[in-house]
Amino acid sequence: MGVHRSHKQAEKGKESPSLCFIAPRYEYESFLIIQDVGILRHFFSVHVCRFKSAAGFRTVASMIKQLFQLPLPTYRSQALFIWFADYHALIPMILGRLFRKPVFLVLGGYDTTWLPEYAYGVFTNPVRTRIVRFLYQKAALVLPVSDYAAAESKKRGDYSGRVIYNAIVFPDVQLEKLVPEKNLILTVGYCNTRRRYFIKGFDRFLQMARMNPDNPFLIIGMEPSFKNGLSNLPDNLTILTPQPHKALTEYYEKTSVYCQFSRFESFGMGVAEACATGALPLVSSAGALPEMVNNNTDYIIEDFDDPEEGRRKIQSLYSKNYNKREECIRKLKEKYSLEVRENALKSVFIEKGLLPEDI
Looking at the fold, whether 151 and 207 belong to one and the same domain comes out as no
Domains held by the chain: number = 2
What are the phi and psi torsion angles at 214 (to 5°)?
-90, -5
Question: In this structure, is residue 2 part of a structural domain?
Answer: no
Question: In this structure, is residue 103 part of a structural domain?
Answer: yes
Read off the CATH number of the domain in which 241 is found: 3.40.50.2000
Question: In this structure, is residue 189 part of a structural domain?
Answer: yes
28 has a pLDDT exceeding 70: no
Mean pLDDT along residues 79-94: 96
Transcribe 228-263 into DSSP letters. Answer: TT--S--TTEEEE----GGGHHHHHHTEEEEEE--S
DSSP SS3 for 337: strand
53 has a pLDDT exceeding 80: no
pLDDT digits (tens, 9 = 90+) for 110-119: 899 888 898 8
Q: Is the pTM above the cut of 0.85?
A: yes
Looking at the fold, whether 47 and 154 belong to one and the same domain comes out as yes
pLDDT digits (tens, 9 = 90+) for 216-230: 999 999 999 999 999
DSSP SS3 for 19: strand
Looking at the fold, whether 69 and 206 belong to one and the same domain comes out as no
Looking at the fold, whether 148 and 228 belong to one and the same domain comes out as no
Looking at the fold, whether 109 and 15 belong to one and the same domain comes out as yes
Average pLDDT, the chain: 91
Looking at the fold, whether 126 and 179 belong to one and the same domain comes out as no
- Biggest alpha carbon distance in the chain? 66
What's the burial of 63, exposed, middle or buried (CB within 10 Å: 0-12/13-18/19+)?
middle
Question: In this structure, is residue 146 part of a structural domain?
Answer: yes
